[in-house]
């Protein structure tokens, strides 16, 4: 066991502050990674403030962060996937027993034995729960470490480990491609990645937004058209024309308005998670044999596929790079939607602590 500098929250109302946490020494299958950048996800804020208490009670002190990019500093004797000096990433998962049907199919994100990067029981006993990427280093089983294309900007790569795979996976699963009309609802941390991927897949991309000021940015990111969803005439113009819609909004909204945008056999996939349940009109689905689903991150093989695709197409997240010392300010700005489009923590700033 060794000690690693980190930023942690001591309670639901405490600001994140400098701390020291234990990390295990690498076992035969482990890789140790020096963390260079860590993205800031809204899930980090929810967890730090115990806002998921009914489902996932926070154990304090907690160290958030599951969008991790770094460099391998040590490998176990049985590791074959990576070597010292390689760039590596860690997303939302750090372990699973890999023997369940989901794992065998490459869908570790559905495994009942999954161990999340933070907040899960630490099966190694190093700490009561797993600690995330707001820290100097992390140790994970090599299966859960990902290769990072060397040509990409590392600060922009970090959010790909959550926001990237969260949007890539449903677009791939529903076979989005050339000749299709695809809608992206919301232009935030998730939505802006959905635009980039849908465009790279060859689809005609339309962004739905409530903010007129986001039109230019949507076009810059790759959208062909922008629809102001509060404008009834604009919505009516596109009704019944979409093959696929990716809904990336976590605020309450009328899902039926977007189901009406689908053509027959069209599909809408949810990646945003509003706090209150949707009221869904059965008629919005019945007329046209439309379908609705949800999606969460992706398996390890698909995440590696996504990273390789990003390397080939030079795709990264649009980020604002900040030092770890500004994490509490970043959380407040995140609540206001004041970031384009993800924060990326420069973990070199932690060395000054």
pLDDT at 351 over 90: no
Q: What is the mean pLDDT of residues 316-345?
A: 96
φ, ψ dihedrals at 237, nearest 5°? -60, -35
Cβ neighbours around 231 below 10 Å, total: 12
Q: 168 and 119, same structural domain?
A: no
Q: What is the mean pLDDT of residues 64-86?
A: 97
Average pLDDT value for the chain: 96
φ, ψ dihedrals at 289, nearest 5°? 50, 45
- Contact between 120 and 165 under an 8 Å Cβ cutoff? The reply is no
Domain boundary (294, 323, 340) is at 294
* Domain coverage including residue 215: 164-294
Tokens of 65: 């962060």
Q: 73 and 7, same structural domain?
A: yes
Residue with tokens 């991150």: 297
Q: Shortest CA distance to 348 belongs to which of 84, 154, 62, 90?
A: 154
**pLDDT, position 248:** 97
Q: Is 352 helix (H, G, I), strand (E, B) or coil?
A: helix
Q: 306 and 287, same structural domain?
A: no
**pLDDT, position 65:** 98
Alpha helix (H) residue ranges in 30-135 = 42-48, 101-104
Q: 191 and 132, same structural domain?
A: no
Q: How confident is the model at residue 313 (pLDDT cuts 50, 70, 90)?
A: very high
pLDDT at 53 over 90: no
Q: What is the CATH number of the domain that holds 174?
A: 3.40.50.720
pLDDT at 352 over 90: no
Domain boundary (277, 294, 311) is at 294
Q: What digits encode the pLDDT tens for the residues 201-255?
A: 999 999 999 999 999 999 999 999 999 999 999 999 999 999 999 999 999 999 9
Tokens of 253: 């909204």
Q: 268 and 189, same structural domain?
A: yes
In the chain, the number of structural domains is 2
Q: 97 and 51, same structural domain?
A: yes
Helices then strands, each counted (H, E), the chain: 11, 17
Q: What digits encode the pLDDT tens for the residues 163-197?
A: 999 999 999 999 999 999 999 999 999 999 999 99
- Contact between 303 and 91 under an 8 Å Cβ cutoff? The reply is yes
Q: How confident is the model at residue 54 (pLDDT cuts 50, 70, 90)?
A: confident
Q: What digits encode the pLDDT tens for the residues 250-298?
A: 999 999 999 999 999 999 999 998 878 899 999 999 999 999 999 999 9
DSSP class of residue 293 equals E
Q: 18 and 114, same structural domain?
A: yes
Q: 277 and 243, same structural domain?
A: yes
Q: Is 132 helix (H, G, I), strand (E, B) or coil?
A: coil
Nearest-angstrom CA–CA distance, 204 and 182:
6
Alpha helix (H) residue ranges in the chain = 42-48, 101-104, 154-157, 163-173, 191-200, 215-221, 232-238, 255-259, 282-286, 300-313, 327-335
pLDDT at 353 over 80: no
Q: 206 and 152, same structural domain?
A: no
pLDDT at 6 over 80: yes
Q: 309 and 272, same structural domain?
A: no
Domain boundary (249, 265, 294) is at 294
**pLDDT, position 273:** 85
Q: What is the CATH number of the domain that holds 66?
A: 3.90.180.10
Q: What digits encode the pLDDT tens for the residues 119-156?
A: 999 999 999 999 999 999 999 999 999 999 999 999 99
Nearest-angstrom CA–CA distance, 257 and 266:
14
Q: 27 and 137, same structural domain?
A: yes
**Can you give the length of the chain in residues?**
353
Alpha helix (H) residue ranges in 178-299 = 191-200, 215-221, 232-238, 255-259, 282-286
Q: 157 and 168, same structural domain?
A: no
């Amino acid at each position: 066991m060794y000690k690693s500098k980190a930023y942690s929250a001591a309670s639901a109302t405490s600001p994140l502050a400098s701390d020291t946490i234990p990390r295990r020494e690498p076992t035969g299958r482990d890789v140790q990674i020096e963390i260079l950048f860590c993205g800031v996800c809204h899930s980090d804020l929810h967890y730090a403030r115990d806002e998921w208490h009914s489902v996932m009670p926070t154990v304090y002190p907690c160290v958030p962060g599951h969008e991790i990019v770094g460099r391998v500093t040590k490998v176990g004797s049985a590791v074959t996937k990576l070597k010292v000096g390689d760039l590596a990433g860690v997303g939302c998962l750090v372990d699973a027993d890999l023997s369940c049907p989901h794992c065998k199919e490459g869908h570790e994100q559905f495994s009942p034995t999954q161990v999340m990067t933070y907040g899960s029981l630490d099966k190694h006993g190093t700490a009561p729960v797993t600690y995330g990427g707001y820290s100097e280093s992390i140790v994970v089983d090599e299966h859960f470490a990902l290769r990072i294309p060397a040509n990409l900007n590392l600060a922009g790569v970090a959010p790909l480990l959550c926001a990237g795979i969260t949007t890539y996976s449903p677009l791939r699963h529903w076979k989005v491609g050339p000749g299709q009309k695809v809608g992206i609802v919301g232009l935030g941390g998730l939505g802006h990645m959905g635009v980039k991927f849908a465009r790279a897949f060859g689809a005609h991309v339309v962004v739905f937004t409530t903010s007129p000021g986001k039109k230019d940015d949507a076009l810059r990111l790759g959208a062909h058209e922008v629809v102001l969803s509060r404008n009834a005439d604009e919505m009516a113009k596109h009704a019944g024309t979409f093959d696929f819609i990716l809904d990336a909004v976590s605020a309450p909204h009328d899902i039926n308005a977007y189901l009406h945008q689908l053509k027959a056999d069209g599909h809408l996939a949810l990646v945003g998670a509003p706090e209150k349940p949707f009221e869904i009109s059965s008629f919005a689905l019945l007329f046209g044999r439309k379908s609705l689903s949800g999606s969460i991150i992706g398996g390890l093989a698909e995440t590696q596929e996504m990273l390789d695709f990003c390397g080939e197409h030079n795709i990264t997240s649009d980020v604002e790079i900040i030092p770890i010392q500004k994490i509490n300010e970043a959380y407040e700005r995140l609540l206001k939607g004041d970031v384009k489009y993800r924060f990326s923590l420069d973990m070199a700033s932690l060395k000054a602590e």
